[in-house]
């Protein structure tokens, strides 16, 4: 059986426009905040070991739709927090495939949802004969 993790966090990560205006101290605080939020959200369902080959669906629920690169960049601290909290091993393209989505939410009801699935390599798939 493969590992799957589904999280929903009732906060929104900052967008690139907000990052551009933020000081270095603000972005460090944002990084620390997301490390803590991911830790708390996943504490009861963390994998036994960091996933080496992961497929992720990262969805931003907000009242305003960001452009695609803004959507992806807004998840930077979130994905880094998945690594920091030992949920995934790495976010390089050979280890981490991600789909970034947006869904409309009412104002002040923004959130993100995260689905991480372990993908088995051909060597890990059980053979039947």
- pLDDT (tens digit per residue) in 22-71: 555 567 888 999 999 999 999 999 999 999 999 999 999 999 999 999 99
Does some domain include residue 129?
A: no
Residues 77-104 as b/e (b if ≥16 CB within 10 A, e otherwise) read bbbebbbbbebbbeeeeebbebebebee
User: Mean pLDDT, to the nearest integer, of 109-124?
Assistant: 88
Share of the chain above pLDDT 90, in %: 76
pLDDT the model gives residue 117: 97
Q: What is the CATH number of the domain that holds 51?
A: 3.30.1330.70
Distance CA 6, CA 87 (A): 12
Does some domain include residue 125?
A: no
Does some domain include residue 128?
A: no
Domain range for 18 is 4-118
Does some domain include residue 124?
A: no
Does some domain include residue 84?
A: yes
Q: How many domains does the chain have?
A: 1
Per-residue confidence band for 19, with pLDDT thresholds at 50, 70 and 90: low
């Amino acid at each position: 059986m493969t590992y799957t993790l589904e999280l929903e966090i009732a906060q929104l990560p900052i967008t690139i426009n907000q990052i551009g205006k933020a000081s270095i101290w603000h972005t460090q605080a944002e990084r620390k905040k997301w490390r803590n939020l991911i830790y708390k959200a996943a504490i009861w369902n963390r994998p036994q070991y960091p996933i080496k080959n992961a497929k992720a669906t990262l969805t931003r629920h907000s009242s305003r739709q960001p452009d695609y690169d803004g959507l992806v960049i807004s998840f930077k601290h979130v994905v880094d927090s998945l690594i920091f909290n030992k949920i995934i091993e790495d976010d390089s393209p050979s280890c981490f495939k991600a789909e970034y989505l947006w869904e409309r939410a009412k104002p002040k009801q923004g959130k993100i949802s995260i689905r991480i699935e372990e993908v088995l390599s051909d060597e890990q798939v059980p053979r039947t004969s």
